[in-house]
Amino acid sequence: MTFKVAVIGGGLAGITAAIALAESGADVTLLEARPRLGGATCSFNRDGLTVDTGQHIFLGCCTAYRGLLAKLGMTEHATMQDRFDVTVLAPGGRGGVAPPGDGRAPGANGQPRKARLRRTALPGPLHMLPALGRYPFLSFAERMSVSRPALGMRFVNPADPAVDTQRFGDWLARRGQSERTRRALWDLFSVSALNIDGDDASLALAAVVVKTGLLGKNNAADIGVPALPLGELHGDAGANLLAKLGARVALSTKVAAIEPNQGGGFRIELAQGAQGDPMTADAVVLAVPHEKAAPLIPAGALPEQTVAGWAGLGASPIVNVHVIYDRPVMDLPFVAAIDSPVQWVFDRTRISGLDRPGHQYLAISLSAADQYADTPAAQLREQFLPALAELFPAARDANVAEFFVTRERRATFRQAPGSGALRPKAATAQPGLVLAGAWTDTGWPDTMEGAVRSGLAAAVELKASLSTIGVSK
């Protein structure tokens, strides 16, 4: 007998689970509320420009996500650096020249100060030490202090509940990391990886990032950047593969309720205005964000306090500021910035299909963007155009052809201390119902890797749960 599965939610978690289950012979229907697949990784068209609502990157260690890209035939469209290599800029000029002898990068005459963090071919953690040892935005003493927490991370177990209760910033400070070292070095990576102010991040999740990126294989932190809009890379490619596997994809189909049938299986009720009819299924993968999952969980599937506790995961915004200049101002695919409101900047000219000769399209990605989530675009323009001009001298004479802002108010859950205890496993007490989503207990931060891992875990759990109740393919 072929078992019939409804996968609810067409983000990376749902797409992954649907593919895995369809590959193992299940009769899969993927139900997605929006008119497209891809969830948080999506693109839209703006007067002929293809815009990703949020710039995404991934790392060499994202094996599950890279596995999904391979399945989707997209590996060549998500290129990896040959080595971890990040240029870090800081505004110069306004007193930006460091006190003599402290080794900070000079930035006289309004020129930005610049550093390059490029790994060597040595095994981790030695691969980063030469670059960190030369990092010009820290004093000699600060640079020397970095190895203590870096190596100390070896003894931090992210799965230890006590570790989940600690703030990353406190842990770093106790290991001699000054305010300056935390802001100019650790924040560079932890804020974007965890989407929360660096000091406030859960030590457990920060440990996953540091252990993997700094202490793991030497290519673990090499950066991958999509070379196609996310809508094509994930959404369109996912829909194509699912069609090939014989799975149905129902778009604009919001689920309103999941009702377990007395004799087993489920009835899936659709929201008013959704396309299609209610459906029945032997099993359900619920792959929607936590605030959407909570009201859909059938009574008894999980303890009430567990489901109520998900609200504590909260949400953290990411804002992208998009600027099209009438000339090239940045000569690298991306840079990071410190001592500036700018965090990371990406060149989106080619990927967006920008059809204005000689122009350049930059996107500033702002993580932990609580202070910008509701700031009017005009105000962001006043703040960020001068900030870009401080980092890119060519921008000072350039004209801005277009400026707009995209805001994802619930980009990730708030990856603060205590969040680990709130993240559920895939299994529920309701036979045939499993959870997926980057917010579930994957051991990973709320990322594309976490989403894909959760989808794979849900498929494995579901197959195990169905075999115990006698449903098999």
Ligand X SMILES: Cc1cc2nc3c(=O)[nH]c(=O)nc-3n(C[C@H](O)[C@H](O)[C@H](O)COP(=O)(O)OP(=O)(O)OC[C@H]3O[C@@H](n4cnc5c(N)ncnc54)[C@H](O)[C@@H]3O)c2cc1C
Residue from 6, 30, 201, 255 touching ligand X (CB under 6 A): that is 255
Sole binder of ligand X in the list 5, 6, 7, 12 (CB under 6 A)? 12
Kindly give the pairing relationship between strand 266-270 and strand 43-46: unpaired
Q: Are 118 and 83 in contact (CB under 8 A)?
A: yes
Q: How far is the CB of 178 from ligand X (least distance, A)?
A: 28
At 258 the three-state DSSP class reads strand
Is-contact 77 25, C-beta < 8 A? no
Q: Does 49 bind ligand X (CB under 6 A)?
A: no
Q: How far is the CB of 47 from ligand X (least distance, A)?
A: 21
Alpha helices in 153-202 (DSSP H): 161-164, 168-174, 179-181, 187-194
Residue 156, interface with ligand X (CB under 6 A)? no
Shortest distance (Å) from residue 67 CB to ligand X:
14
- Residue whose token pair is 């560079």: 188
- Residue 158: alpha-carbon gap to chain centroid: 19
> Token pair for residue 338?
């410190």
Contact set for ligand X, span 418-437 (CB under 6 A): 437
With respect to ligand X, which residue has the nearer C-beta, 118 or 254?
A: 254
- Considering the rule CB under 6 A, would residue 248 count as an interface residue with ligand X? no
Question: Residue 89: what residue type?
Answer: L
Q: Are 229 and 56 in contact (CB under 8 A)?
A: no
Position 338 contacts ligand X (CB under 6 A): no
Q: What phi and psi, each to the nearest 5 degrees, are found at residue 83?
A: -150, 150
The stretch near ligand X (CB under 6 A) out of 32-40, 196-204, 304-312, 330-338 is: 32-40
CB of 317 to ligand X, least distance (A): 8
- 196 touching ligand X, by CB under 6 A: no
**Is residue 411 a contact point for ligand X (CB under 6 A)?**
yes
By CB under 6 A, residue 143 contacts ligand X: no
Token output for 189: 């990576």
**What are the contacts of 167-174 at 24+ separation with CB within 8 A?**
167/199, 167/200, 167/201, 167/202, 167/203, 167/416, 167/417, 168/198, 168/199, 168/200, 168/201, 168/202, 168/203, 168/206, 169/198, 169/199, 169/200, 169/201, 170/199, 171/203, 171/206, 172/199
Q: Does 180 bind ligand X (CB under 6 A)?
A: no
Size of the site for ligand X (CB under 6 A): 37
Determine if 465 is a binding residue for ligand X (CB under 6 A): no
Judged by beta carbon, residue 199 or residue 449, the one nearer ligand X is 449
Q: Does 451 interact with ligand X (rule: CB under 6 A)?
A: yes
**Mask 276-315, x = binds ligand X (CB under 6 A)?**
-----------xxx--x-----------------------
Beta strand 78-80 with 85-90 is unpaired
Residue placing its CB nearer to ligand X in the complex, 17 or 387: 17
* 198 near ligand X (CB under 6 A): no
460, 442 in Cβ contact below 8 A?
no
For residue 34, state whether it binds ligand X (rule: CB under 6 A).
yes
> Which parts of this chain interact with ligand X (CB under 6 A)?
8-14, 31-34, 39-41, 53-54, 56-58, 254-255, 287-289, 292, 318, 408, 411-412, 437-438, 446-451
